[in-house]
Amino acid sequence: MPYVPAVMEMENAIIRMMDDVQRALQKPPSERRWGMVIDLTKCVACDACTVSCKAEKKTPPGVNYTVVIKEEVGTYPNVRAVFLPRPCMQCENPPCVDVCPVGATWKNEEGIVVIDYDVCIGCRYCVTACPYGARNFDFGEWYTENTPMLEPYETAPTFEYGEERVRSEGVSPIGNVRKCNFCIERLREGLLPACINDCIGRARYFGDLNDPDSLVSEMLRERYSFRLKEDLGTNPKVFYLS
Amino acid sequence: MKNNKKFNVAYWLVTVVLLAVGAVGLYWRLTQGHRMANYGQLIVWGLWVALYIYFIGLSAGAFLISSLVYAFGVERFRPIARLALFTALISLLAALLNIWFDLGHMERFYEVFSRPNFLSMMAWMVWLYTAYSILLLFELWFELRTDLVRWSEKAGLSGKVCRILAFGSKDTSTKSRARDTRTVKILGSIGVPLAIMFHGGVGALFGVISARPAWHSGLFPLLFLVSALVSGGGLLLAIYAFLAPDRGSEAHTALVADLGKLVLGLTLLDVLFTFSEYSIALYGAIPGDVGPLLKTMTGPFWYVFWIGQIGLGMIVPIVLLAWKRTNRNPNWVGLAGFSIVVAFVGVRLNIVIPPLSVPELQGLVEAVPSARMSTFYVPSTMEWFLAMGIVGLALTLYALGYSLLPVKPNKETSHG
Ligand code: SF4
Ligand code: SF4
């Protein structure tokens, strides 16, 4: 039995995390440090996060901001499945940022790595530089192409970065590189990132790492955590509990 | 003469086919964007990026060889120096076109000038080769100027073009020529560090990417420089051996042989560098490093490495250029150069693609149910067509320049 932190007995972690977000929003942006904690012992690889992200961001085929890696370890009968949800790590030292020739992507004050779709030239250099495969190129494809009409869920506007955009031929974000932005536009409204809300196993947590009272800070204090490819010095803000 | 005619017909036939096919590719690219391309989320760079570093390598290599003459005064290669400069210019153009079509938003390329991020090797590269292209244009112009003025007198198209390109310059005195020679020497000398920086920079563009261990090597900038010299040298060798107007003369045979020696030396250096890079990585056996190399050598495209890179790029030219029975025969030596020119397309593909084909996280490919998330890549028809069109355009410009401008390798233009 994995250790269940006290907070789990609390009525609703979502409400607690939303309170954490509210508290963080009271502070100046530069004092917040958004982070995610993913409890691998609770992930059941249902891909609810993948789907909820798709629905939230209306990403086209092949563009996935968060995915769940599923692997089998060992040989039968001694096998075990391991699951690893992978959003953008929002690295403190993001290698994807330095390489951008036009400065179209940067780490904002709150520590979220953002992309300006109106500047990005689509060279895809940043895709090669991300050690986590978190960046995607928007090739301009549609789920419902070659059908009588594009379904409304593909043509409905998105509000990424708080900008209303309708995807269409030759217009950004088509031809741009895209990735998870911790749902920055939802955070501004006091909402949690979509994947946090929709995780059925309550494996994903979110909050302000600078706030010692936030749920994520508490979990990181009480449980053993690790991050991916720590040896690269990227200093990710997505932590895994195992 | 008859042979020449046949060659011309074949040349233009191929060029016209390439241009026609290219027009189709261009239409697809402009109307469909990147949808018809086969690169994906993992292998995000494909044929065009490979061809970009291929052509930019040819350009840097040809330029550095011209600098042997203009900057370092190696008079032996004077007869081909202009041709080398001109080759550098056309290759540069082909390179830039390839990379331009690769952009997701072609219309925004100017941002690299208006808002560069100098932490990015890519921004450096763009700025350096902009400087390089300007320098190249000026150097070529000063080198050709007196001949352009002289050729303005000629009847026909060549005369007209030369008159325009002379930009009103009239002076053909020895004094003005001497001044030009000095200018060319200065420009050529500035050009050497510039070419080393920008092509080393292209190597560094890959080398700095720690996320891709197979690229992340301090040897990369140097490897790029050496391979640029080999491929540029090979191209000049092939052009001069087969197309020079003084073919058959003793001077031609001797110069081809000497140029062959230079290319042989560079190829051997390339063997050393490549061996060093590969053997160290293989010994280290870090998956992200060794995986792409094993794929290169034993994967579905093993022949690009063994037949292309090793066979045509190293063994064939080394044998042809070192063996006494072939290394003084312009046809064999030219063939060695041609073999290198072909092989280096493979070398460039192997630099770009295999290192991208190993997922950053194990299981990532299986996690994304999309054809774009694949460890396998072959260029699509659209990618091939557009690339062929660019080659066609380069061939057109090359042939036009070669016949209309005073760039041909010969005695007349060989002395200042
Ligand atoms: S995970 Fe990748 S895309 Fe996200 S910040 Fe880090 S390097 Fe950049
Ligand atoms: S694809 Fe866009 S964000 Fe990425 S490096 Fe190129 S310009 Fe920058």
Residue with tokens 């043509």: A155
Q: Cβ separation of B103 and A228 shorter than 8 Å?
A: no
CB B56 within 8 A of CB B94: no
Atom nearest to A99 CA in ligand 2: 5
Q: What is the pLDDT of residue B96?
A: 94
Q: How many whole angstroms separate alpha carbon B281 and alpha carbon B300?
A: 20
CB A107 within 8 A of CB A126: no
Question: The dihedral of CA B115, A98, B375, A227: what is its sign?
Answer: negative
Q: Is the pTM of this model over 0.90?
A: yes
> Out of A84, A103, A140, whose CB is closest to B34?
A140
Atom nearest to B211 CA in ligand 1: 7
Backbone φ and ψ for B378, nearest 5 degrees, come out as -125, 140
B44 touches chain A (CB under 8 A): yes
Cα(B125) to centroid(ligand 2), Å: 15
Whether A105 is in the pocket of ligand 2, judged by its Cβ within 6 Å, is yes
Q: Cβ separation of B115 and A103 shorter than 8 Å?
A: yes
Whether A104 is in the pocket of ligand 2, judged by its Cβ within 6 Å, is yes
Query: Which top CATH class is A6-241?
Result: alpha beta
To the nearest whole number, what is the mean pLDDT of chain A?
Answer: 93
- B4 vs A174, which has greater pLDDT? A174
Q: Cβ separation of B361 and A139 shorter than 8 Å?
A: no
**Alpha-carbon separation of residue B198 from A66, A99, B59 (angstroms):** 37, 16, 11
Scored b (16 or more CB within 10 A) or e, B163-197 reads bebbeeeeeeeeeebeebeebbbebbebbbebbbb
Residues of chain B contacting A43 with CB distance shorter than 8 Å: none
Q: How far is A235 from chain B (nearest CA, A)?
A: 14
Among protein residues, the one with the nearest Cα to ligand 1's atom 6 is A91
CATH T-level fold of B5-404? Formate dehydrogenase/DMSO reductase fold (1.20.1630)
Question: What ranges in B1-120 are assigned the alpha helix state H?
Answer: 2-32, 47-70, 78-102, 111-114
Q: Cβ separation of B117 and A101 shorter than 8 Å?
A: yes
Which of A166, A210, A226 shows the shortest CA–CA distance to A27? A210
Q: Which own/partner pairs from B151-159 qualify as long-range (CB within 8 Å, at least 24 positions apart)?
A: B151/B405, B151/B406, B157/B404, B158/B403, B158/B404, B158/B405
* Ligand 1 pocket: which of A135, A181, A235 to mutate (most atoms within 8 A of CB): A135
Atom nearest to A119 CA in ligand 2: 7
Q: What is the pLDDT of residue B341?
A: 97
* Ligand 1 pocket: which of A38, A63, A90, A125 to mutate (most atoms within 8 A of CB): A90
Residue with tokens 């150069």: B337
**A104: Cβ–Cβ under 8 A, 6 or more apart, which residues?**
A115, A116, A119, A120, A121, B111
* pLDDT digit string, tens, across residues A194-205: 999 999 999 999
Q: What is the pLDDT of residue B154?
A: 87
Which residues of B, range 96-125, sit inside 8 Å of A by Cβ? 102-105, 108-109, 111-112, 115-117, 119-123
Count of CB pairs separated by less than 8 Å, A with B: 148
Q: What is the pLDDT of residue B394?
A: 97
| Cis bond before residue B193 (omega within 30° of 0) | no
Q: Cβ separation of A69 and B361 shorter than 8 Å?
A: yes
Pairing state between β A34-39 and A204-208 = antiparallel
In tens digits, what is the pLDDT along chain B, a chain of 416 residues?
Answer: 456 788 899 999 999 999 999 999 999 999 999 999 999 999 999 999 999 999 999 999 999 999 999 999 999 999 999 999 999 999 999 999 999 999 999 999 999 999 999 999 999 999 998 999 999 999 999 999 999 999 998 888 999 999 999 998 888 889 999 999 999 999 999 999 999 998 999 999 999 999 999 999 999 999 999 999 999 999 999 999 998 888 889 999 999 999 999 999 999 999 999 999 999 999 988 888 899 999 999 999 999 999 999 999 999 999 999 999 999 999 999 999 999 999 999 999 999 999 999 999 999 999 998 999 999 999 999 999 999 999 999 999 999 999 899 998 865 444 43
What single-letter DSSP state applies at residue B305?
Answer: I
Q: What is the pLDDT of residue B413?
A: 46
Task: Give, in degrees to the nearest 5, the angle at Cα B388 between B200 and B238.
Answer: 60
* pLDDT digit string, tens, across residues A107-158: 999 999 999 999 999 999 999 999 999 999 999 999 999 999 999 999 999 9
Q: How many whole angstroms separate alpha carbon A9 and alpha carbon A181?
A: 30
Q: How far is B222 from chain A (nearest CA, A)?
A: 20
Domain boundaries, chain A: 6-241
Within A93-198, strands assigned E span 105-107, 113-115, 136-137, 177-178
Q: How many whole angstroms separate alpha carbon B109 and alpha carbon A12?
A: 50
Which of B100, B378, B337 shows the shortest CA–CA distance to B231? B337
* pLDDT digit string, tens, across residues A60-92: 999 999 999 999 999 989 999 999 999 999 999
Q: Cβ separation of A61 and B372 shorter than 8 Å?
A: yes
Q: How many whole angstroms separate alpha carbon B34 and alpha carbon B124?
A: 26
Q: What is the pLDDT of residue B285?
A: 85
Specify the 3-state DSSP secondary structure of A137. Answer: strand
Q: Cβ separation of A140 and B33 shorter than 8 Å?
A: yes
